Structures are given as structure tokens and as C-alpha cells.
Structure 1
Amino acid sequence: MGGLKRAAIWGLGLTWLLMGAGLPAHADEFPVGDKGSMWADPYLIGSYRHMGDIYASRRVPRSGPVSELPAGEPLTIDSFPVGGVAMSLEDYVARARTTGLIVLKDGKVVLERYWHGADATSRFASWSVAKSFVSTLVGFAVADGLIKSVEDPVTDYLPELQGSGYDGVPIKAILQMSSGVAFNEDYESSASDALILWNQVLQYNKRTFSDFAARSKREVEPYAKFNYKGLDSVVLGMLVARVTGKNLSTDLAEKIWGPLGMEDDASWLLEDRSDKALEAPFCCLNARLRDYARFGQFMLQGGAWDGKQLLPASWIAEATRPDRSQVEFGALYPGTSLGYQYQWWVLQGSDRAFSAEGVNGQFIYVNPAKQLVIVMTSVWPQFWDNRLAKESFALFDAIGAALPD
């Protein structure tokens, strides 16, 4: 991950310039802001645990018995190597402003810690981690026969996108962030499409997501290049809502939240406060750390949970391994071995590890070879920090190395 410059990550544009350091260390000193103030300290850390209150959101209800996450042999990590130099975990946590870290080994909790005012009942903002939930809902729709094939043109299901940049684009190309639709997600530019989308839909509720998708333009042919953009995830969310006849929160509750025995409701930000509002498919699911970990464990187990195969293992395998040249290892960013598939980042190596990632340091890291799931939430001072990203994966590697095979 070292040296990765990921401008194409969801965020809020130039507001990152307002984010400072030197935050207080006590829970009662992390105030919660509103839609205007939350993006600057001292409100940012506290607000990231209350996104569902600050913005319009829909509840993702839990149901049924809570699934057990049994305790395993406790793991202690005081320091870890980064480029051959030992780094203190507490130093990393202070700089990364990490709020939660949980580690599952063989389905058992071996480490669970909270910082910066968070605790086990906090609902953490996920940012682009939500994309991986949406792609999994696409998988359920395929398994249920509601989507015949990911090779189908998306306009077979969303005819209102005919004449747009998405006209005739295969669903698979959209899953791979390779739709060919023009969209600028560079948050160093105040004119980026992503910032305009956020402001006009979520911030000020002036337009809908479907309006943006319908007005999109084609830049290159589908599969011609990887271009990470929230608009592709928007179209996937529209697709799931259309074929299921349900909003995304209800579908998530029925397919994942209830069956996995999540311990708390989640919330998902909406484009407006109407009953028919679409959730933000590119971001903004808010949930407890342990519930994110349950989702990671579900992916690790190949779509199985509590003795039942909820989603075909073939979908999990397909969704987490690059299979076209534009998303293969090393093709995304020069000098990296990173790959991409169905809204999941994939790490090259024999472990077949993959991760859901969000700005400011949100991760669901799944390592099948080591039977390891790590969930970490942070509030980095910048939306993406190459140094902190490198240190985060060094921490994940150290955790894996410290655990028995």
C-alpha cells in the first residue's frame, strides 16, 4: 500500500483543509456538530459517531437472537514494525485518531479496544466500506434470480438510464468501477463531480442520485479503464432497490443484518427525508464495530453463517478476486500491487486477503489464509494519508504474524 496516492476516495472536498490535530483525550470533550460545523475539529471525531443523527438517515433494524462472538486467546500488540522500525501502537492510535479496533481469529474475538471517547455501543461511520455491503446485496439479487447475470446491461433493469453514460453498460463493469462514465472524484479540486454530488444531494437535498446518473456522460468504453467513483455505486444501489422492490436498508436488514444476528440497529444516510429516498450507496452506513466484524466473518466463511449457506460461496470468490486486466494487481496505480473487483480492494499474495476501505481510515480486512478479520475505524486528519495507510496494513500484518496458524 506504500506510495499509494488515492485521490479517488469518497470525501467532502476541500473541507479536509479545516481538519486539525491536537484533540482532547476524554469522551466528554468530543462534541458533536451539525452538517456545517462537523467537518472541523473539535467536532469531527464525535460527529463520526453520530452521522445518522446529523444527516437524514434510515434505520437498518436488527432482529432475532444476537449471534455470539466468543472470546479467544487474548492478543496483545504493544508495537509493530513499519519499514524495519518499531512503532508504538499508542503512537499510531494518537496520530491516526483510531477510535476502534477488533480482531477475530477463527471467529473468536482476540482483541477489542476503543479510543477517543468511543466504546462498544458506538455507531461508527463507515464511508466507502458501505460500497462492499452494496455489492454483496447485488450478489444476493443474483442468487435470488432477480438479476439474471452481471453481464447484463444495467439498462435492462433501469431503463430510465437509457441515453445516459450507463446505457448498455454491463453490471459487471459497474461493479469493477470500470463503467466508462465520466466522473471526477479528485477531492483536491473544488469543481470535482463527487463534491458537487455530495453537496447537491446529501448536504443540501437539491437533487436526487438518480438525476445525477441519468445525466451522466460516457468517457470511454466499459472496461477500458478503472476509475473509482461513487456514481458507479449509486447505480448499483438503484439496481438493487429496483429489482428487490425494497429500499436498501430493508434489503440489508433482511439479507444480512437479521440473519447474521447483529447486536444493534445500524443507520444509513439518505438523499432526503422522503419515504422513497435512496440511501447513499457509496458511503455512510453507521454501525457498531462488532457488527462490522460479523460481516467480515461472513465474507471469510464464504457466505455461510450459523450452519446455513446464505450467499453462494462462488459469489464471494468471484467478488474478491480481480478477473479483468484493468483491475488486475498493479493495474490500478503505478508501483502498487493492489487489485480491485466487486467494490472490494484486493491485496496481492497467497493469503488472498481483501478489504473494504473508507476515507479517514475505515477498514474491514479479511484474510482467508489466516482465518483473520480485522475491523478498524479512525478519523484521520486527512481523507487519505499514504503514511497512515502503510502503517495500518503493517499493523494488520503484525497482528496476523502474532497469531497462531
Structure 2
Amino acid sequence: MTLNRRIFLHQLGLGVAGLGLIGSLPASLQAAPLRAVRLPRSLPEAQGVSSEGLLDFVNAIEAGKLNVHSMMVVRHGQVVAEGWWAPYAPELKHTLYSLSKSFTSSAIGLAVAEKKLTVDDKIVSFFPQDVPATVSPNLAAMRVKDLLMMATGHDKDSTGALRADSDKNWVKAFLAQPVEHEPGTFFVYNSGATYMLSAIIQKITGQTVLEYLKPRLFDPLGIEGADWETDPKGINTGGWGLRVRTEDIAKFGQLYLQKGMWNGKRLLPEAWIEDATKFEIQSKGGSRPKEENDWLQGYGYQFWRCRNNAFRGDGAYGQYCIVIPEKDTVIAITSETSDMQGILDQVWKHILPGIQQGAIATKSTVPLKPKLASLALPLPAGQASSPTAAKVSGKPYQISDNSLNIKRVSLAFQNGSCVCTLQDDQGEHRVVCGLGRWAEGSTDLSTVPLKLVPTSVPKETKTKIAGSGAWSDENTFTMTWRFIETAHYENVTCRFDGDNLQLEFRKSLAVLSNSKDPRPALEGKLMAAVSQGK
């Protein structure tokens, strides 16, 4: 069970009510390593940021139902606004999807600085045992730089081919793909290319990207507990799968804003920062004309260029590290949205115009502080109770044969909660749902069916979860299970009809795409009725 979000904020001085607390600490304490140091806090207007613009941003993304999970705005190195939509919370990591790519790029930058490789090194030189029998001229010409700038020469993303490889050798599968274009000349967004950067780091250092980054980047920034998904051979996926906290994203952006310097020490070369974040190649994406499209502003080394002369790392469903050098500002956002451009639009519309050169007179009437302190995602709609609850509570239902191998289901209602127990071929799995609230805990249910890419964190057997349920009608109980260190959730609908139960799963990605969940509806019968031959 995680700490209550409000208690956590109060104890650590993280909430908006505690703004400025850390900034007033002695410099010696601010320089302490890891968790003793976080970014200092300040009032928005003291750093030249309009509270009104920040509030308008929050209201706009809520009105647009953009399903943002967290936000943090940093100006002049000071956090001026931060918020988590419950049950998401400051102490929780969040899956980054392709924002992971910018961290992998940074590992290459560190390896270049340590003279372990150059961006002009040929890819085939690192993996002579995995190259195909015949190496095409385009494959032979492919450089580290081409991987970095998504210009490998492939006509399409190679990730699917890697995951489908029967030998589970992703490096060999990547090198076996046809390279239709001259490397360096043709942009295609290719997570397999970033995977290869990760594989190269592991090849030349003997460490995973995660292990390599820990002493060089994560420890100096005070990033603790990061984890990363792997391929079947233990190589970090590189292009996705990293999990860190919202403030860690902000720190990473601040490092790039400060051109690689952190607490007076250089972590990344300034020349690398410049190369990684400038226009290297024309990018593709989005459906709008270039002047309105943040996917057509160009691509660097695993960073996107943005409108307003900004740059960003970003990941699927709205994981953002936005750096605006001309405004000395960093914005970190996590979410699960189908409208990634929509979130950026609201940043440019509301936050950016409110950033001024100097301090702004404080408007005490702007209700930003209470708004940020009370953010929450919607609970399932309906009533906390139904006459059916007492009739079915704790009674097991035998489930007909199904591809999920679920054999038995029961729901127990008591003390303002519902405990849902699923029994399958792996054992029993329990999820606690609050009625009219979120109940936080952990589960050994797999998150893989919910995700865009079916890779997992090594040795992770339990996942943090927050559950809530409601009766949408007298005989229908609906639960939302939020896997709160991922971007995703599950809607589970239980329909009771006499001795019968129908149970349906719908993952959030199906909700976003307005599609049917691929998993079957389950049909069950009350076991007492089964034993009586009904």
C-alpha cells in the first residue's frame, strides 16, 4: 500500500502549499545526494510564470479529457507548479514509452565522451557474429548516427520483426531486415533503431543501459529506483520500457537545459547536448500543416524539435519532457491520451504566454493552489451499493472454459470495499476496489495484456494498482483497475443474472481506440447452483 498522496506531500514539503520550502534550505543541504535533494520549489509569479496561465492549462486538459496523470513546470531551475491526478502520486514511477529513447541517446553521448565509440562507427562492426551472410551496401554503411536520428534506411519500423524473431535474437533480426534507402537520407520512426543503441552500449561496456546510466546520470540527478524492460536476452529495450518518476523527467530536462551541467559538475558534453537537440533530419508525423504540427519540426538524436524553438523527448500516449531554452523552462507530463498534439497545444496556448522575463505581481485570487492539491481522475460512475451486493458477496462462480484460463471468480463486499478474486492456472489473484474512492495496493496480475509492447520488467512479480468500483445498475458492478506505475487501466464489468455471471474486460487502449478488447467475455455460474445440478 502506498502512502496517502496528501500525507506524502505534507511530509516532504512537495505540495503547492509547501512551495518555496526547499528553496529556503541551506545550500549545503540542497547539495546532498539522491533523495535528500530534489528540485527547489518557488511560487510561480516569483519566477515570472503566471498562475492564471497554469490554471488555464489544467482546466483545458481536464475539459478536453486528455487523461493527464501528472505535470511539473520548472522555471529558472525552480518547480513552480506540480500536480498528480489521483490515484497517480509523486512517489510512483510511470512508464515512459518512447521518452525512454532520449535516455538511451544520453548513454551514447556518455560513451562517446568516454571514447568508447563514435557516431560514425558502423553498426555491423559491433556485431560481426550476427550479420547476415550477405551484407548489403546500405547495411554496411549504417552508422551509430543513423540509428540516433532515425535514418537507418529502413522503409518501416523494425520493432515488430524483432519481437517476432523465433530465435529471440533481436540484434540478428534487426541486421537481417532489408535496408531499402541509403542510411542518413530517409527518416522513419524506428524503435528497433533505439534498441540497437541499447545493444551497442551493452556490447561495448558489458552493462545494460540502465546499469551504465546509474552512476553517470541517475545517481548525480538523484533518480532512484528506475527500471527498464528487456528483450529475451536481457538487453534493455532502449526505445521504450524505462520507468522513472515525474520529477526525474523534469530533472533530466533541466540537465539538458543546463547544457549538461548539474550542481557545478559536467555530466554530458555541451557539444553532445547541442547535436542531440538540434535539427538533424526532417521528421514525419501528425496530420496538420507544418506550422501547427509539433511532429514536423525536425528530429535530432532521439529528441524531437518543437514549435517555439523548443525540443522534447516524448512517448506514446503523452509522456513528455519539454525543454524551452528561450524561456529557461522545463515541463514534464505523464498521461494516457489519444491526442498527444492536444496536450502540446495547451502548453503553447496557456503556459508559454504566461512566462515573463521578470517576476510578476502575485494574484492571490487565482485558485491554482487548491486546484493542484485536489486533482483526481474520475471514479467509475454509479452507486456504492445495490441489493445484489449482499446476494452475491463472497460467493464463488465457476467460469466456463476460456482462453484466459480463468476458472473461478468471486466478489466480496465489506467495509466500503470490494475484493475481486480471480483464480486461474497460476493461482489466485486479488484486487481490492474502493467504493466511491480509490483503494491502493499491489497485484500479481500481469500488465502485459494492457500494454502497447508486450515486454516486461525483469523479476517484477507484483504491480502497484489502485481500484475503484460502482454499481452502474442494480445488477451490474463495474470496476476500474489502474496500474499506477504504467499509463494504463482496465475496466472490468460484472453482470449478475440469477445464478449467472458475465464478466468482461476492456483495457484502456481499447477504450482510446474505441475498439473491442481482444479478450473473451467470461460466462460463470454460481458454484452452489452447479453442485445442485442447476
Residue 369 of structure 1 aligns to a residue whose secondary structure is helix
| One-letter identity of the residue aligned with 1:313 | E
CA deviations 1:190-215 (Å, max 9, x no partner) are: xxx544545x48xxx97232232132
Structure 2 CA distance for partners of 1:92 and 1:232, relative to 1, 3 Å: same
* 1:1-400 correspondence runs (5 A): 64=34, 66-74=36-44, 89-93=58-62, 95-147=65-117, 149-162=118-131, 163=135, 166-184=139-157, 194-195=159-160, 197-198=162-163, 200=164, 207-262=168-223, 264-272=224-232, 277-323=234-280, 327-328=281-282, 335-336=289-290, 337-349=296-308, 352-380=309-337, 382=338, 385=339, 388-400=340-352
Structure 2 CA distance for partners of 1:330 and 1:226, relative to 1, 3 Å: closer
TM, length-normalised to structure 1? 0.70
User: Would the aligned equivalents of 1:71 and 1:110 in 2 still touch at CA under 8 Å?
Assistant: yes
Identity rate, percent: 26
Task: Determine the C-alpha separation between the residues in 1 that align with 2:343 and 2:210.
Answer: 33
| One-letter identity of the residue aligned with 2:152 | S
Residue 234 of structure 2 aligns to a residue whose secondary structure is coil
Residue 120 of structure 1 aligns to a residue whose secondary structure is coil
Structure 2 CA distance for partners of 1:97 and 1:197, relative to 1, 3 Å: farther
Task: Determine the C-alpha separation between the residues in 2 that align with 1:332 and 1:155.
Answer: 33
| One-letter identity of the residue aligned with 1:305 | W
Q: Which structure has the highest strand share of the two?
A: 2
Deviation of the 1:67 alpha carbon: 3.0
Deviation of the 1:329 alpha carbon: 7.2
Task: Determine the C-alpha separation between the residues in 1 that align with 2:59 and 2:286.
Answer: 32
Residue 257 of structure 1 aligns to a residue whose secondary structure is helix
Task: Determine the C-alpha separation between the residues in 2 that align with 1:220 and 1:70.
Answer: 48
Deviation of the 1:145 alpha carbon: 0.3
| One-letter identity of the residue aligned with 1:222 | P
CA deviations 1:259-305 (Å, max 9, x no partner) are: 1122x311111123xxx500111101111101111111001100110
Residue 339 of structure 1 aligns to a residue whose secondary structure is coil
Task: Determine the C-alpha separation between the residues in 2 that align with 1:93 and 1:109.
Answer: 21
Task: Determine the C-alpha separation between the residues in 1 that align with 2:126 and 2:214.
Answer: 23
Structure 2 CA distance for partners of 1:67 and 1:154, relative to 1, 3 Å: farther
Structure 2 CA distance for partners of 1:251 and 1:396, relative to 1, 3 Å: farther
Residue 332 of structure 2 aligns to a residue whose secondary structure is strand
Structure 2 CA distance for partners of 1:137 and 1:393, relative to 1, 3 Å: farther
CA deviations 1:64-120 (Å, max 9, x no partner) are: 56433111123665668xxxxx97633523611110000110110000001041010
| One-letter identity of the residue aligned with 2:279 | P
CA deviations 1:133-158 (Å, max 9, x no partner) are: 001110001000001x2122122233
Structure 2 CA distance for partners of 1:294 and 1:161, relative to 1, 3 Å: same
TM, length-normalised to structure 2? 0.54
User: Would the aligned equivalents of 1:107 and 1:297 in 2 still touch at CA under 8 Å?
Assistant: yes
Residue 340 of structure 1 aligns to a residue whose secondary structure is coil
User: Would the aligned equivalents of 1:182 and 1:216 in 2 still touch at CA under 8 Å?
Assistant: no
Structure 2 CA distance for partners of 1:334 and 1:160, relative to 1, 3 Å: farther
Residue 274 of structure 2 aligns to a residue whose secondary structure is helix
Gaps in structure 2 of 5+ consecutive residues: 6-32, 291-295, 358-534
Gaps in structure 1 of 5+ consecutive residues: 1-25, 28-62, 81-85, 185-192
CA RMSD of aligned residues (A): 2.8
CA deviations 1:23-54 (Å, max 9, x no partner) are: xxx99xxxxxxxxxxxxxxxxxxxxxxxxxxx
User: Would the aligned equivalents of 2:318 and 2:343 in 1 still touch at CA under 8 Å?
Assistant: no
Structure of higher RCO (CA pairs closer than 8 Å, 6+ residues apart): 1
Deviation of the 1:310 alpha carbon: 1.4
User: Would the aligned equivalents of 1:267 and 1:285 in 2 still touch at CA under 8 Å?
Assistant: yes
Structure 2 CA distance for partners of 1:391 and 1:64, relative to 1, 3 Å: closer
Residue 221 of structure 2 aligns to a residue whose secondary structure is coil
Task: Determine the C-alpha separation between the residues in 2 that align with 1:131 and 1:296.
Answer: 13
Residue 71 of structure 2 aligns to a residue whose secondary structure is strand
Residue 239 of structure 2 aligns to a residue whose secondary structure is coil
Structure 2 CA distance for partners of 1:229 and 1:167, relative to 1, 3 Å: same
